[in-house]
Structures are given as C-alpha cells and as structure tokens.
Structure 1
Amino acid sequence: MGNKVATREAYGKALAELANENENAVVLDADLSKSTKTANFKTVAPERFFNMGIAEANMMGVAAGLSTCGKIPFVSTFAMFAAGRAFEQIRNSICYPNLNVKICATHAGLTVGEDGASHQAIEDISLMRSIPNMIVINPADDVETEAAIKAIANVKGPCYVRLGRMAVATVNDEKKYKFEIGKGVTLSEGTDVTIIATGIMVEAALEAKDILAKEGIRAKVINIHTIKPIDKELIIRAAKETKAIVTAEEHSIIGGLGSAVSEVISEEFPVPVLKLGVNDVFGESGKPGELLKAYGLTSADIVVKVKKAIEMK
C-alpha cells in the first residue's frame, strides 16, 4: 500500500483536470470550497465555479436547473449537509426527474473527527441508495476517487460520491487500475471467508487479510466501490466459494454496504453475513484513529468478525 492521501484531496485534483477536459463541467459549493477542495476547480475555471453560500437545499435546485441546460454540475458540501439537509431537494428536484447532477460529498463517516456527531454522516449511504435513479459510489483511495470522478462525468443521471477527510493509504495500482461503475474489485483471493469492504475500510480489510494469513486463514478481499448498483454477480460467486462473508464500512450497519450485501445473499445464496460498522449509535468527538478504534472499525475487529463468521459456516 502506498502513500496516504485523503479522497477529498483526490477529488479536488480530478475536478481541476476535468475543468480543462470538459467545458460543460460546472461546480457548486456551499461555502466550504477550501475544505471540499473544489477551490482547485475555481483556480482553473473561475467562471464555472459558483459559491452558493450556506444554502444547501437551494444549491441542489440550482444544480438541477443547470443540468437541464446541458451543464454537468458537480455539487459539494459536507456529507451531513448534502445527504441530510438537502435530502428532499435531491429526491424531488434531481432524482425524480433523473437529472445529470453529481453530488460529491466530503467529510463523511466518523473520521471527520473532532467535529463530532453533528458533522459525522454515518447514514448517508443508506439515505442515498434508497432514492430511485441514484448511483452511490464510495471510493477506497485517491486512485479510485480520480477514476470515479472522471467516470461519472461521462454517465447521464444522478450520482452520489462519498469522500473523506482523513488521509488513507493507496490500495490500487494507478497504472493497472480500471474503474467501472457497478463492478467490484477482487483484491485478494481466498477460500475460507470473504471480506467485502468499502471506502476507507478497504485498507483495514487488506491488513486483516494479512493477519489471518499468518493463522492459516485464507480470506478473499473484495472492494465494493459502487454500493448502488451493487455487483450481485461477484458477491454471489464469493458466497458460493467461501460460504461466509464479513462486510466492513465506516457507516451505520443499518442501510449501508452490509445491508446491501445481505439483501443479495439472503435472496440468492444464503450464507452467514456479519456486518462490521457503526452499531446504531451516534459518533463523538476525537481523533480519527481513536474513533475507529473506539467504534470497532480496525483490522483487528475485522479479524474477530471473520473468525466468528467461519464458526457459523
């Protein structure tokens, strides 16, 4: 695994490149451009950057309008304010008419850190994947983020991309990596159990795989970057091969990756599925690493879940 880069940083870099590549790309931000890194786009194309102020609901409506004029709006604020505060506008003004708006929300999950529960979006995947027409993407690292942003620019329809504040290790090889919406990535083969992870938990899943290997347990590791549409074929195949699954996400265990995987497995090929995530509680203030440990979102916690899942086979 390579250098650590926050996915929001990679988003800013990709936006700046997109400014030169696509003249229809426009960016709207809710007065947080330095934090969301959309300021990078403003530097390149200031005439296509709009600071909408602290008015997220209105920002979504304006983005919807711009999309009807052939523009490709990339809309950014913190995940709590995008998915939470502007839910109605995303549902009714963007997804209902199936408009070409890209909502790229930063500062998702517990690793917002010291900002605490009011800013820690641990429900956003659940909210966004419940809306018809919405594509939901949660990149694992900088390489995947840049590829995802370029990909959604070329796909018609609403997209929600979940981005983080904390720097994370690069788990994908930039030269070999291929991003495809709706397709998971198998990072490690194994026959004893499957660890399906998303976002920053992909790094922890790979670390857990190495710990388990020392104990003779061979874990398949799958990165599901697209929560919706989810890669059913890959998940079912993994269930058949390993007969046990552990999911890992920096999100509530209700309605996120674990729920999405469970929905597929329960209908197609029932095997034990254990979910690792935030257990129906709010977050609290603290350093990102301390919070991940306090809420059981580490490689060691994945190892414990894996052993329990194997016992249930």
Structure 2
Amino acid sequence: MFTLDRENKTTREMRMSVVETLQELMKENDKVVALEADLGGASGFSKIEKTNPDRFINVGIAEANMVGVAAGLSVTGFVPFLHTFGPFASRRVFDQVFLSGAYAHNTMNIYGSDPGFTVGPNGGTHTTWEDVALMRAIPNSVVCDAADDTQMEWIIKEFSKLEGIHYVRGNRKPVPNVYKKGSTFELGKGNLIKEGKDVLVIAAGQLVSDAMDAAEALEKDGISVEVIDMFTIKPIDADLILKKAAGKKAVITFENHSITGGLGSAVAEVLADNGVGVELTRLGVNEQFGQVGTPDFLQKEFKLTADDLKAVIKAKV
C-alpha cells in the first residue's frame, strides 16, 4: 500500500535510489549484476564498481554491446540491470533489446535516465521523447515511469523478481516527493492519489507531482480534479481508466514524452477500444526535438508545467 508524503520535499537523488537498491539486492542475490556504458559517474554506478567489483561491467561507449553482454549473462542465469541515458537505452539499442532480449526470451532490466526535459544542457541529441513508445512496442515488455525515489526503489526491487524485458525511466537528480518511504505498489495498477468529479488527469513520472500541484490549486477555484499516477504505462490499468473516466467532463494525460506512442496513446487506446466517448486531451510533446537548456527552462519551453496543465483543465470545464 502507498501513502502520500507531499510535505517532505527532501528526497534522494533518483540515481542513488537505483544504486543503493542494487547494492542491497546484490547482498541477497549473487546473480544480480550491473552494466554501464561509460556513465558510472553520471549514474552513480561507480559506487557499485567499488563495493561489488565482480558484479559490475563497464562496457564503454558501446550500448548495443552492453545489451549483447546482458543477453549472455541472462542465458547463464544472471539478472542484469543496465543503465545509460534514455535515448541510448531505447532507440540506440532497440534492435538488440528486441532480438537478443525479448525474442530470445532473455531478461533485461533497463534504467533509461534523464528522459525528456530532465536531460537539461545535454541537449537534443540526448533527449528522448520516444523511449516509452519504443519499449511499449516490444512484446510482453513492462514499461514504468517512476514518480519519485521511493517508487523507483520499489520498481527496481520488483524488476529483480521477474523474467523478461523491463524498462524504467527517471531523472538522475532529486525530484519532488510524492510517496512516503516504505510505500508499495503493484505493477500494472495505477494509483488513485486524488479524488475529483470534474476532470480526470492521468500522469506519470515526475509530472505526477506537477499534476497534484495543479489539481490542488484548482480546488480553490471550485474545479474538482481527480489524479491518477499511471506509473506502469505497460501493462496499463484499463479497468481503473474506464472506471474513473466515467462521468468526467474530460480526461487529460500529462507526460514528459511525445504524445505519440506514450501514456497519452495508451490511454486513448483503452478509451477507443471500449467505446468511451469522453473528451481526451494528450498534454505532452508534439512533433518536436529536444534542445539545450536547464530542466526548469525546458519544462516551461515544452509547456509541461503545473500552470500549463491548469490552463488546459480550465478550458475543459
């Protein structure tokens, strides 16, 4: 079960949540291994290299080879966790993950860091607006977007228990807190974190906090907004979407990703497949590439702030 904790703004860096959780898992399971593509300093995986040198492999700037190595480790019974920046963990290695991973029935747990505007000054070449779309297209994959470090820790632990292709995206740095430490979740189930009667907002990743900010502010204007944290984008919680969309004036998806193939598309598919006629607005990035800037600047530039969401909601009621 989960408990909200929006008062506590101090959180671990997301990357340290991953690193510390992997170090804990390595104590419990001698088959857990970590692979890195020359970003140990950026990811914090260099700490794993120091504490567990025999369970860490730095393949260098050779992401496709990293996936091949992970496939070999999986074949021999190991549980590989891979990290690199989001675009290199998805689009650069898509064929290898698809064939050497999914098609060959191997297990790979992939952490794609700094998705969307969180990439900051690394710019357009390092920006991924399409990683969810790519990973969703892989048969039987699991795709998650972590809202905070507590949820990231839980996701990493849960991935370690499963076989197959699992992808989680998340900022490397601290993000606004959403959940109390020790909260637990369920893969494939969304979290209803605020009830409301006028508009349903379905968000994922660090935008969950912004969605809550917008919803709470709009309550003062007499607008009742329901918020779901859809941290598992695949498999998506169709039952919860259908139940909570019923009777709403509008449904709005809110994601740090392209509106093509991401959370918005997944929700649209659920509504269309079930003949639900509620108005849907997908708030995300539309036909744009990334650019250089601070994360805060880029979030505003791509209109993914709480204020942007508030404006969209107000236009629907």
SS in 2 for 1:242: coil
Once the two structures are TM-superposed, the CA of residue 243 in structure 1 deviates from its matched residue by: 4.2
Once the two structures are TM-superposed, the CA of residue 41 in structure 1 deviates from its matched residue by: 2.3
Q: Which of 16, 19, 23 is residue 16 of structure 1 equivalent to?
A: 23
SS in 2 for 1:283: coil
SS in 2 for 1:13: helix
Q: Which of 223, 233, 240 is residue 217 of structure 1 equivalent to?
A: 223
Question: Identity of paired residues, percent?
Answer: 42
Q: Is the 8 A contact 2:25 2:157 kept in 1?
A: yes
Cα shift readout 1:53-109 (whole Å, capped 9, x = no counterpart): 111111101101110111000011111111011111011110112211111111221
Indicate the residue corresponding to 2:245 in structure 1.
239
- Gaps of at least 5 residues in structure 1 are none
- Gaps of at least 5 residues in structure 2 are 1-5
SS in 2 for 1:84: coil
Residue 241 to residue 144, structure 1, CA distance change in 2 (3 Å): farther
SS in 1 for 2:27: helix
Hey, what's the Cα distance between the residues in 2 that align with 1:249 and 1:205?
A: 10
Q: Is the 8 A contact 1:5 1:170 kept in 2?
A: no
Hey, what's the Cα distance between the residues in 2 that align with 1:235 and 1:287?
A: 34
Q: Is the 8 A contact 1:195 1:246 kept in 2?
A: yes
Q: Which of 207, 217, 222 is residue 213 of structure 2 equivalent to?
A: 207
When the two structures are superposed, what TM-score results if normalisation uses the length of structure 1? 0.96
Q: Which of 97, 100, 107 is residue 93 of structure 1 equivalent to?
A: 100
Residue 193 in structure 1 maps to residue 164 in structure 2: no
SS in 2 for 1:277: strand
Cα shift readout 1:180-228 (whole Å, capped 9, x = no counterpart): 1111111101111111000011010000011110111111110011110
Once the two structures are TM-superposed, the CA of residue 4 in structure 1 deviates from its matched residue by: 4.0
SS in 1 for 2:111: strand
Once the two structures are TM-superposed, the CA of residue 168 in structure 1 deviates from its matched residue by: 0.8
Cα shift readout 1:4-31 (whole Å, capped 9, x = no counterpart): 4442232122112112122110011111
**Counterpart mapping for 1:12-161 below 5 A:** 12-161=19-168
Hey, what's the Cα distance between the residues in 1 that align with 2:144 and 2:39?
A: 21
Once the two structures are TM-superposed, the CA of residue 298 in structure 1 deviates from its matched residue by: 0.4
Cα shift readout 1:246-278 (whole Å, capped 9, x = no counterpart): 111111111100110111011212311101111
Q: Is the 8 A contact 2:249 2:316 kept in 1?
A: no
Cα shift readout 1:111-146 (whole Å, capped 9, x = no counterpart): 111111000111100111011121101110000000
Indicate the residue corresponding to 1:255 in structure 2.
261
Counterpart residue type for residue 58 of structure 2: N
Hey, what's the Cα distance between the residues in 2 that align with 1:34 and 1:261?
A: 36
Once the two structures are TM-superposed, the CA of residue 240 in structure 1 deviates from its matched residue by: 0.9
Once the two structures are TM-superposed, the CA of residue 32 in structure 1 deviates from its matched residue by: 0.5
Counterpart residue type for residue 139 of structure 1: A
Residue 97 to residue 270, structure 1, CA distance change in 2 (3 Å): farther
Residue 299 in structure 1 maps to residue 306 in structure 2: yes
Tell me which stretches of 4 or more aligned residues in structure 1 moved more than 4 Å. none
**286-295 or 267-276, larger mean C-alpha shift:** 267-276
SS in 1 for 2:239: helix
Q: Is the 8 A contact 2:199 2:224 kept in 1?
A: yes
Counterpart residue type for residue 26 of structure 2: A
Equivalences, count: 309
Hey, what's the Cα distance between the residues in 1 that align with 2:50 and 2:236?
A: 35
Q: Is the 8 A contact 2:248 2:278 kept in 1?
A: no
Q: Is the 8 A contact 1:105 1:163 kept in 2?
A: yes
Hey, what's the Cα distance between the residues in 2 that align with 1:212 and 1:98?
A: 47
